[in-house]
């Protein structure tokens, strides 16, 4: 099979170390061989290809930048490149990795006890256990500070009541990291599958993220051991710190979805003949292709520099917000433009474009909507918060 080669107009390839390229190429082959052949079928049927999870674990795609506990310990640029490849396959595949690694393993690693780390991190790293991250509620999405889910201390336990909404992998997860209000502020709790009072229901009827599981979580007098609280996670800040990790992966991942759409449109335009010539020869088509290639290149450079900053411990939340905001908006516009170039074929799952386009509508909304990231950057520039 011929390996997919990306658009690389600015020679980013030359900025990568041999190890970064090797990791990228390994994930690229995995996507070509094991994701692309099955993804449309799973998308149609509305389910995640669970059989790839152990293989993702073997490839170190869960908690990749963490060290110990069976994690790969790779740098942030290599991780970002891997996320680009996964999302070239499908946003749902990249999401599985971002949630498991950035939103479940990272907070356990950063805020958890040694017992919590030993219990969960090796299994999550291998893909033998699945985790989910419950922050959003039916009435509190962009403003999680208003959450109503409550955890009340009762002896050696906490008793949870409330609901979480739109939770990736919620009903298949072995462990849910649930954020709840307590007397000492918002804190994170590990709720294990099967705990009495905890139930999870799949959200059906989605037109986006069809090859991904999304769920609603419910807690009714759900009693968990006090030892399941993440002791280092104090306040909403800990949840937002975890979101930085997943937002970072989206900044890279969205480039993969854009590349898939760009290359589909480029190939199609060279083959599709109208008015006796390939449509790629028309100026209006070329303008679209040039716009896509330019925006993808800018996004690649933004992600690359963000990755290098992250590896130096210098990536600021505002930089992550800018990369998430810009790169996802770019990817969605690229997908819509590619869809147009494909004409009627653009709405068929014979091509990956409409699937990516529908997925990217969610990516623009989750992990902080485009508008919320705009306001985070606006606050940084002006010193004035538009939230209050
Ligand atoms: P605010 O007062 O601004 O902040 C509270 C404290 O947190 C600190 N902080 C951060 N720390 C680290 N990283 C960040 N990104 C941070 N952002 C804020 C802040 O400095 C403060 O610290 P301190 O020491 O002063 O207490 O909080 P706020 O309530 O005003 O909220 C600000 C806002 C709106 C930006 C925040 O609530 C927000 O980001 N909202 C968006 C919510 C969101 O992103 N939800 C995502 C849910 S998870 C998800 O979507 C997973 S998708 C799954 C998949 O990938 O499949
Ligand atoms: P709202 O917050 O109600 O926003 C509605 C609209 O109002 C948006 O356009 C928004 O930008 C705008 N808006 C809100 N406030 C302002 C403002 N101050 N100024 C200007 N405009 C504003 N959450 C989790 O916790 N865990 C998960 O695993 C998870 N997975 C998800 C998977 C999918 C497929 C999807 C679609 C969502 C997922 N989410 C998850 C939820 C996601 O984080 C929220 O949908 C997101 O934070 C936005 O919240 P909301 O949908 O309630 O929109």
pLDDT, tens digit (0-9, with 9 covering 90-100), for 209-235? 999 999 999 999 999 999 999 999 999
Residue 195 phi/psi, 5° resolution? -65, 130
Residues lining ligand 1, CB < 6 A? 95, 98-99, 133, 135-136, 142-145, 168, 235-237, 240-241, 243-244, 246, 317, 366-368, 372, 376, 387
Structure confidence at residue 5 (pLDDT):
73
- Identify which of 288, 234, 273, 253 has the alpha carbon closest to the alpha carbon of residue 111: 234
The rounded distance, in Å, linking the Cα atoms of 377 and 41 is: 39
Percent of the chain at pLDDT exceeding 90: 98
Q: Which residues of the chain have pLDDT under 50?
A: none
Ligand 2 pocket test, candidate residues 48, 90, 99, 166, most atoms within 8 A of CB: 166
Please answer whether residues 197 and 221 qualify as being in contact, where contact means their C-beta atoms are separated by less than 8 angstroms.
yes
* Residue 350 annotated as catalytic: no
Please answer whether residues 387 and 339 qualify as being in contact, where contact means their C-beta atoms are separated by less than 8 angstroms.
no
Please answer whether residues 27 and 61 qualify as being in contact, where contact means their C-beta atoms are separated by less than 8 angstroms.
yes
Please answer whether residues 258 and 296 qualify as being in contact, where contact means their C-beta atoms are separated by less than 8 angstroms.
yes
Question: Which protein residue's CA is at the shortest distance from atom 54 of ligand 1?
Answer: 95
Other CB atoms within a 10 A radius of the CB of residue 247 amount to: 23
pLDDT, tens digit (0-9, with 9 covering 90-100), for 282-305? 999 999 999 999 999 999 999 999
The rounded distance, in Å, linking the Cα atoms of 131 and 113 is: 17
Structure confidence at residue 3 (pLDDT):
62
- Specify the ligand 2 atom closest to the Cα of 362: 36
* pTM, 2 dp: 0.98
- Identify which of 310, 353, 340, 305 has the alpha carbon closest to the alpha carbon of residue 326: 305
In this structure, what token pair is assigned to residue 294?
Answer: 């330019």
Structure confidence at residue 6 (pLDDT):
83
pLDDT, tens digit (0-9, with 9 covering 90-100), for 99-116? 999 999 999 999 999 999
105 Cα: distance to centroid of ligand 2 (angstroms)? 22
Strands 198-202 and 214-225: antiparallel
Structure confidence at residue 2 (pLDDT):
59
């Amino acid at each position: 099979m011929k390996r997919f080669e990306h658009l690389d107009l600015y020679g980013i390839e030359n900025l990568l170390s041999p190890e970064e390229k090797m990791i990228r190429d390994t994930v690229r082959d995995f996507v070509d061989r094991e994701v692309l052949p099955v993804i449309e079928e799973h998308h149609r049927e509305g389910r995640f290809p669970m059989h790839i999870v152990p293989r993702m674990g073997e490839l170190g795609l869960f908690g990749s930048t963490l060290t110990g506990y069976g994690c790969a310990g790779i740098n942030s640029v290599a991780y970002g490149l891997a996320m680009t490849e996964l999302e070239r396959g499908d946003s749902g595949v990249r999401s599985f990795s971002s949630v498991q690694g950035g939103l479940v393993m990272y907070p356990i690693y950063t805020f958890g006890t040694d017992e919590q780390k030993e219990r969960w991190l090796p299994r999550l790293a291998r893909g033998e256990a699945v985790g989910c991250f419950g922050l959003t509620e039916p009435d509190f999405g962009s403003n999680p500070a208003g959450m109503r889910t409550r955890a009340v201390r009762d002896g050696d336990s906490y008793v949870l009541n409330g609901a979480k909404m739109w939770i990736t992998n919620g009903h298949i997860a072995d462990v849910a990291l649930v954020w709840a209000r307590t007397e000492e502020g918002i804190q994170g709790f590990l709720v294990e599958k099967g705990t009495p009072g905890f139930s999870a229901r799949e959200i059906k009827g989605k037109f986006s993220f069809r090859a991904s599981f999304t769920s609603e979580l419910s807690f009714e007098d759900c009693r968990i051991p006090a030892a399941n609280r993440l002791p280092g996670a104090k306040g909403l800040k800990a949840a937002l710190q975890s979101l930085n990790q997943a937002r970072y992966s989206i900044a890279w991942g969205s480039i993969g979805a854009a590349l898939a759409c760009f290359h589909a449109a480029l190939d199609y335009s060279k083959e599709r003949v109208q008015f006796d010539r390939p449509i790629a020869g028309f100026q209006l088509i070329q303008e679209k292709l040039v716009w896509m290639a330019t925006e993808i290149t800018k996004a690649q450079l933004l992600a690359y520099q963000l990755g290098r900053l992250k590896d130096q411990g210098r990536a600021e939340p505002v930089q992550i917000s800018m990369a998430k905001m810009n790169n996802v908006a770019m990817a969605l516009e690229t997908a819509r433009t590619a869809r147009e170039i494909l004409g009627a074929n653009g709405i068929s799952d014979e091509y990956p474009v409409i699937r990516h386009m529908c997925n990217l509508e969610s990516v623009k909304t989750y992990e902080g909507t485009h508008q919320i990231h705009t306001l985070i950057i606006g606050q940084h520039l002006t010193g004035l918060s538009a939230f209050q």
